[in-house]
Structures are given as structure tokens and as C-alpha cells.
Amino acid sequence: MSLQSDYEFENNHRKIDLYEYLTDDELESVTNIFLEALAREEGITPDIFEIETNILVEQVYFNS
């Protein structure tokens, strides 16, 4: 995507960070799934990492 289309996409969607919504067990499960996929597909097993937990939802689902 171009910068313009990225900008338009983000302006037409609401960004929600799911981190605060996850329980400790859910966060651990999601983290393990992501790290297992990374190790399997890329052969990478980092000790330090960051996982973004954002989801973009179309504005049509919200009352503005």
C-alpha cells in the first residue's frame, strides 16, 4: 500500500489495543502461539521481543 492508502485505511478504521482486554492466561497463550510460529517459519527464537496487539475495525461497527 502507498502512504496515502495507509493513511486513508487508518482514518476509516478504529484501532483497538487488545492487550488490556486479555487475561494473563490468554496473553501467555497468544504469545506462545506467535513465538512457536516464528520459530517454525523463520527459525528465530528471541529472548526479547514485542508483540503488538492492535486490531483495526471498520467504523461502521461503532456509533460515533
Which SS3 state, helix, strand or coil, does residue 12 take?
A: coil
In degrees, to the nearest 5, what angle opens at C-alpha 14 toward C-alphas 2 and 1? 10
Asked if 13 and 55 count as a contact pair (C-beta separation under 8 A), the reply is no
Residue ranges covered by each domain of the chain:
3-61
Tens place of pLDDT per residue across the chain (64 aa): 566 577 777 778 888 999 999 999 999 999 999 999 999 999 999 999 999 999 888 877 666 5
Q: Which grid coordinates belong to 16?
A: 483497538
What pLDDT is recorded for position 8?
78
Asked if 55 and 16 count as a contact pair (C-beta separation under 8 A), the reply is yes
What pLDDT is recorded for position 64?
54
